[in-house]
Amino acid sequence: MSDQIDIKAIAMDGSELREVTHNQAGNWLPRWSPDGAAVVFESNRDGNSEIYYVINSSPRDLHRVTNSASPDLAPVWSRDGSFVAFTRRDMGQLEVWVAEPNMADPQPTGQHGRPVPWPR
């Protein structure tokens, strides 16, 4: 049995099915950016859950957001798309972190638990 779980995107009318991810890993919890230009998601492609995003739903335009020894889980975009919030599990504790999508120095928020969608 394979652990492969890919993310696909489709137009609202059911046309234009395309692969957002295509690898032998598990890829979960996709979230569109507020402007609809990028998809952030969790993936275990390197053996540990990390946060990635793709632009224009293209697997060729893959960007890594986190690189941690601890699993990074459940990403969501900020309302303006400038940050990604996610949960990091470290030593059995869940803590909410935020990062710029370009992998610039993720920071803990001091909050525990799983991130939820930003208020609208």
pLDDT reading at 40 higher than 90: yes
Residue at token pair 């909050």: 111
Per-position b or e across 50-62, b if 16+ CB within 10 A of its CB: bbbbbeebeeeee
pLDDT reading at 1 higher than 50: no
φ, ψ for residue 20 (rounded to 5)?
Answer: -90, -35
Could you tell me the pLDDT band of residue 23, with boundaries at 50, 70 and 90?
Answer: confident
Look at residue 57 and give its three-state secondary structure: coil
pLDDT the model gives residue 37: 92
- In angstroms, how far is CA 106 from the centroid of its own chain? 14
pTM: 0.84
- Residue of 117 and 75 predicted with greater confidence: 75
Q: Looking at domain 8-112, which CATH architecture does it have?
A: 6 Propeller (2.120)
Break the chain into its structural domains and give their ranges.
Answer: 8-112
